[in-house]
A and B are shown apart, each in its own frame.
Chain A
Amino acid sequence: MKKQIICAILAISLLFAFAGCSGKPASQENTPSQTPSREETTTPAAQAVPEKVKFSLWHSYVGTDQRAPFMEARMSQFRTQYPNYEIDEQKIPRDQYQTKLKTQAAAGQLPDAFVIWPNAMTIEFATSNLLADINDLLERNPEWRDGFVSRALDEFTVDGKTYSAGLGVSVTSIVFYNKALFDKYNLSYPQSYEELKNVITTFVKNGVIPIAHGNKPKWPAQSTIFSLMANRETGSEWLDNVLAKNGAQFTDPEFIRALEKFEEITKLGAFNKDFISLDNVQMRDYFYKGQAAMMIDGSWAVPDVIAKAPEDLKANIELDILPGFEGGKGDPNVMSGVSATGIAINKKVSPQQKAAIEDLIVFLTNSEAQQMYAEYNIPVSYKNVTIDKSKADPIYIKLTELISKHPLVTVYDSALNSELTEIVNNGLQGIMVGKQTPEEVAKQLQAAVK
């Protein structure tokens, strides 16, 4: 009997001991980041003997990521150029990176430097006061700053403070099309919505999949197709007005028209029938096999196309954008895009660490780095980069030409917060499988605008 009581008391007191010492949620438990350099004296070191600076860096450029080979090459150059920096580099694949980073963020233990996504993620981290801005750095390096396309910095800017610079950009809505199939059925690339419908019906009639599409992950329809379709109908400022509650609403007729057109082409049979059970990678196989005439995908697909498309098909691949819509308010010349991810700095780092990480941010995005992007088929985030056409793959050259011709407009999932993004992604899936109507989705979106 006694033993039981002792046992129970022990167990309960143990429980409370732990609960007591940390009853509050974790983020207040600020642990100092592992920084030996912090304790070192901060005397201005002589130029000849640079001070050792240690920092941790987490990124997701690993494995199958498009930027993995670039990052590996560039980091080794960085280490050579700055031998006094000791970098504890953690490479974690993208989905797992998000889990690990957010767990550590919740526990108040972020790494010193880490990859961050533009827009929604930057806003959440910045408003939670976790990041150090790089406004100073931009001031000090006007040449570097002014080289960027505006998107690469703007999308990391919250309330006038910039937190990172994108390692390139991602164009989200490129129409890759198989010219041979268009020729075979005497079709030319559509220049209007009516022509697009005609192309779709012709292909369907002849047993060709008009557009290869895989929407299992839910974001592809929104990011690669619908963002631009909506822009064609509504124009660029409309979305900002909706979100700012400035006279526009998701239930406006132009937005509903965009949803209806999306529904219409789905019903016409624009996509392979199994679009809902394929992901955005698997769907490319229809295009590679020559069974689909088009596929709409982001610039991230380019390395895959170069690697996996059979040679005879590759010669026939052309790149273009969705046609303008008759009566739509949008500029028919734009396409949708977003800045790529960039490196952000933990607010808690020491000044020396901050300087070191800033060196890294510049090193990964300066004009030399931009040249390297081109070598690895990554769209550049600088305005003027001359590409060595003898070295680059023809498809990559077509991509850069496309980007130079068409200005980028916002993708929905970068303008919307994560909650609205979820609604639009699920809503588009609902429309595609006939579970929801355009009006319902529009209403649901408007209801969630805060």
Chain B
Amino acid sequence: MENVIKANSGKDLLSGVGKRFRKLLLYALLCFVAITTVYPLLWMVYTSFKSNQDISMNTLALPTKLHFENYLEAWKTARIGEYFFNSILVAVVSIIFTILVGASAAFILAKFKFKMQRLVYTSFIIGMLIPIQSILVPLFIQMRNFKLLDSRWSLILSYTAFGLPMAIFILESFIRDLPSEILESAVIDGSSVPRAFFKLILPMSRPALATVIILSFLNNWKEFSFALIFISDEAKKTLPLGLYNFLGAETNNYAGLTAALVISSIPVLIMYLFMQEQVIKGMTAGAVKG
């Protein structure tokens, strides 16, 4: 990056040509990265129309014949019809919790001063340092103690709790940078602190909130280990559990898997496309208030 910019720093004479060249270089770089990111998605989509034999023989080639039946099979084997709704429900409810609980804590940590502030803040780091696989057993026992096994709450509560560190870090550093004067003048004008939080802080934090929503949704949508351990009831299982039906030790059904993955990627894709607008929109919204 530095090279790109260094290449024409200062030299006003060259700046016209330099700017053009720089832009070209920038686009070349962006396009290169974009190709490496778009191709996997395209590959997943067109592979989902190939037969397993075809995938074996020519892994990267385009399908010679469109096998729509893969989607039918995916729908049945991964039980998409049954699990889809559960996944949406769990992911969305967890996000609402994460945002409510996380944003209020981030707000307190960013704008208040109190004794154990550092301790509380640091303790949120702890949750991100342990490989998930090693707390499956204690967490399973915990859920059993609370009689939450086989309940959607086991997933909602654990997704919320484990989503908190990232949410708090992103929101805290964002809210801390919001000018304190706005908040203070609002409180002087007679607004209560909760009111100021909901009416001022939250709207102004829109870019960070959107980021947290995107990342939490992704994590919750793909999460597998907790769902595997906590849920045995067919009616409450989530999508990732179904996806693993395609992978075995003895044979792999990549045709069915990619078809199922295409279907399961759609909500995340829509979510992202919609939310990334919000990440950027914050600019104008924030500017008006600032």
In the bound complex, how far is the Cα of B246 from the Cα of A238, in angstroms?
40
Listed stretches B52-60, B94-102, B164-172, B203-211; interface member: B52-60
For window 38-60 of B, CB contacts with A under 8 Å fall at 52-53, 56-57
- Tell me the complex Cα distance, A63–B250, Å: 11
Main secondary structure of the interface of B (DSSP, over half): helix
- Please choose the segment from A187-195, A227-235, A282-290 that sits at the chain B interface, where 4 or more of its residues have CB less than 8 A away: A282-290
A65 to B245, CA, bound (A): 9
CB-CB under 8 A from A18, the residues of chain B are 142, 145
Q: Is A95 at the interface (CB under 8 A from chain B)?
A: yes
Interface string of B224-256 (1 = CB under 8 A from A): 010011001000000001001111111111000
Task: Report which residue of B137, B228, B247, B251 has the largest number of chain A beta carbons within 10 angstroms of its beta carbon.
Answer: B251
Identify A106's interface contact among B56, B116, B137, B245, CB under 8 A: B137
Give which listed residue, A8, A99, A217, contacts B228 with CB less than 8 A.
A99
Chain A neighbourhood of B136, CB < 8 A? 99, 103
Bound-complex Cα distance A310 to B140 (A): 47
Interface size on A, residues (CB 8 A): 40
Residues of B within 8 A of A281 (CB): 250-252
Q: Mark B133-149, 1 if CB is under 8 A from A, else 0.
A: 10011101110110000
The distance in angstroms between the C-alpha atoms of A90 and B241, with both chains bound, is 12
B114 interface hit (Cβ, 8 Å): yes
Would B141 and A64 count as touching, CB distance under 8 A?
no
Q: Give the residue name and chain of the B residue nearest to A21 (CB).
A: B145
Q: Is the CB of A4 within 8 A of B114?
A: yes
CB under 8 Å from chain B, chain A span 425-439: none
| Residues A8 and B248 in contact in the complex (CB < 8 Å), given A22-B141, A99-B136 | no
Report the Cα distance A300→B251, complex, angstroms. Answer: 9
Quick one: which of A226-265 are within 8 Å of B by CB? Answer: none
* Residue B278 at the chain A interface, CB threshold 8 Å: no
Known contacts A100-B228, A103-B136, A107-B141; A63/B57 CB under 8 A: no
Whether the pair B144, A31 counts as a contact (CB closer than 8 A) is yes
B77 at the binding interface (Cβ < 8 Å):
yes
Q: How far is the CA of A103 from the CA of B249 in the complex (A)?
A: 21
Chain B window 60-97, contacts with chain A (Cβ cutoff 8 Å), 1 for yes, 0 for no: 00000000000000000100000000000000000000
- Asked if A29 and B245 sit within 8 Å, CB to CB, the answer is no
> A100: which B residues are within 8 A, CB to CB?
228-229
Binds B, one of A159-167, A301-309, A316-324: A301-309
Q: Which residues of B contact A285 (CB under 8 A)?
A: 56-57
Q: Does A347 contact B (CB under 8 A)?
A: no
Q: What distance in Å separates the Cβ of B118 from its nearest Cβ neighbour in chain A? A: 13
Segment 1-52 of A: residues with Cβ below 8 Å from B: 1, 4, 8, 18, 21-22, 26, 29, 31
Within the complex, which residue of A1, A90, A107 is in contact with B140, where a contact is CB–CB below 8 Å? A107
Q: Which of A21, A31, A99, A301 contacts B250 (CB 8 A)?
A: A301
Please, which residues of chain A bring their CB within 8 A of the CB of B116? Answer: 4, 8
Interface residues of A in 55-105 (CB under 8 A from B): 62-66, 90, 92-96, 99-100, 103-104
Please, how many angstroms separate the alpha-carbon atoms of A318 and B178 in the complex?
74
B115 close to chain A: CB less than 8 A: yes
Report chain B residues within 8 Å CB of A307. 52-53, 251
Note all chain B residues with C-beta closer than 8 A to A288. Answer: 56-57
On whether the beta carbons of B144 and A308 are closer than 8 Å, the reply is no
Chain B's nearest CB lies how many Å from the CB of A22? 7
CB distance from B155 to the nearest CB of A (A): 15
Complex CA distance for A90 and B140, rounded to whole angstroms = 18
Q: Which A residues from 269 to 292 make CB contacts under 8 A with B?
A: 281, 284-285, 288-289
- Name the contact of B225 in the complex, choosing from A4, A99, A217, A284 (C-beta under 8 A): A99
Q: In the bound complex, do residue A63 and residue B77 qualify as a contact, i.e. CB atoms below 8 Å apart?
A: yes
The answer on a CB contact under 8 Å between A64 and B56 is no
Q: Check B228 against A96 for contact (C-beta < 8 Å).
A: yes
Q: Does A304 contact B250, Cβ atoms closer than 8 Å?
A: yes
Determine if A284 and B56 form an interchain contact, defined as CB atoms under 8 angstroms apart: yes
User: A109 an interface residue at 8 Å Cβ cutoff?
Assistant: yes
Q: Is B56 a contact of A65 with CB atoms below 8 Å?
A: no
Nearest Cβ distance between residue B257 and chain A, in whole angstroms? Answer: 9
Instruction: Check if B253 sits within 8 Å of A103, measured CB to CB.
Output: no
Q: A4-B116, A93-B244, A285-B56 are in contact. Are A107 and B144 (CB under 8 A)?
A: yes
The 8 Å CB contact of A63, one of B52, B144, B228, B246, is B246
Known A4-B116, A93-B245, A107-B137: A64·B252 in contact at CB below 8 Å:
yes
Q: How far is the CB of B232 from chain A (nearest CB, A)?
A: 6
Report chain B residues within 8 Å CB of A104. Answer: 140, 229
For A284, what are the chain B residues with a Cβ–Cβ distance below 8 Å?
A: 56
Chain A residues positioned under 8 Å from B133 (CB to CB): 99
A307 to B137, CA, bound (A): 40
Q: Which residues of B contact A96 (CB under 8 A)?
A: 228, 241, 244
Known A4-B115, A18-B142, A308-B53; further 8 A-B contacts with Cβ < 8 A: A8-B116, A21-B145, A93-B244, A93-B245, A94-B249, A103-B136, A285-B57, A310-B53
Chain A interface (Cβ within 8 Å of chain B)?
A: 1, 4, 8, 18, 21-22, 26, 29, 31, 62-66, 90, 92-96, 99-100, 103-104, 106-107, 109, 217, 281, 284-285, 288-289, 300-301, 303-304, 307-308, 310
Q: List 20 A-B contacts (CB under 8 A).
A: A4-B115, A18-B145, A22-B145, A29-B141, A92-B228, A94-B248, A96-B244, A99-B133, A99-B136, A99-B228, A103-B137, A103-B140, A217-B249, A285-B56, A288-B57, A289-B57, A301-B250, A303-B251, A304-B251, A310-B53
Q: Nearest 9 pairs between A and B by C-beta?
A: A64-B248, A63-B245, A300-B250, A106-B137, A285-B56, A304-B251, A64-B251, A93-B244, A103-B136
